Structure 1
Amino acid sequence: MRDLPAFTLAGYDKGRGLLTQALWFAVMNTVFMAWFCPARLRVALLRAFGARIGEGVLIRHRVRVLWPWKLTVGDHTWIGEGAWLLNLEPVTIGSHVCISQEALLCTGSHDHRAADFRYRNAPITVEDGAWVAVRATVLAGVTVGRCAVAGAGTVVHKDLPALTLQTQDGQRRPVEEPK
């Protein structure tokens, strides 16, 4: 039986103080996610809160980022409408990556065997040239390899090697490098 009142944040570091967290939530929910906020301003806001963002990055509206200071994005990467970067731990996204609409990158999890349901978080890496397609989910501890494709609606719960496509039914097959 779970003992949820015993849950604590033991071992989890949010990375910034409460005031910075509150300020980020206010900015994210009023300006950053809004349709009228220019993509360049979104990048500037993330950088202002500690994210490391490369050149030519496009971040669309309704994107959610839990902690900008735990986010690194390479050059010429796209993050589509409604994507959610639930980065309790670091998320590293390479260059020329496409994170499509409503994709979820979730670094958080819980130990289902522990009565206190303690965190079992781990970072996520999406390597150069990869594509996380519409409504795909990448779970804690996963690396999506170079030019790999997490197909629409798929759940990636273990590393996806370079030049590999995973479909919604979990099947994997090799793909050619884009030319």
Structure 2
Amino acid sequence: MKDILVLYYSHRGAVRALAEQIARGIDSVPGTQPRLRTVPKVSALCEASAPPVPDSGAPYAELQDLEECAGLALGSPTRFGNMAAPMKYFWDGTITAWQNGSLAGKPATVFTSSGSLHGGNETTLLTMMLPLLHHGMVLMGLPHGWPELAATRDGGTPYGASHVAGPQGSPVLSPEAARLAFLQGQRLAQLTLKLA
């Protein structure tokens, strides 16, 4: 059984909803299983710390999760066209994995959600790819020919699944966005098995 890490940070629940759909897609492929993980918020105060286990949702990611995974789906909300600080902070601490090459050759994909239609979804997806490229991962997007990609009104790009949550941060995905995330997880699982 190949574990595929679905690593995300979600502020209002939209990225978590996408992560859960991606995990369902992974779970639909025999021989693979999703491992959902999140990262804690970054505090502006040096002495503040998060509890060792989140109150709800997925457990916090550890470097061991990266080493043990056969593939990776990475998700973050947009922050001015970049991944959110908690996710960036996590990746800034992966130098040992980079030195060991523990992610090199593994397939990866990215997903995001923003608060507005032009909130930086595509640039966030692209900036999330950069540390993965430095780690030597094999990046996977969404085929442009998928009909859901042309039909969606709330996100979706060839770079990865996305969602526009609106100013209230609605975590409710459209049927097209949910389907794209599911298909992205399924495709990642299939690629993981091919590369194994």
TM-score by length of 2: 0.22
More strand by share: 1
* Higher RCO (CA-CA < 8 Å; seq separation 6+): 2
More helix by share: 2
- Structure whose alpha-carbon radius of gyration is higher: 1
TM-score by length of 1: 0.24
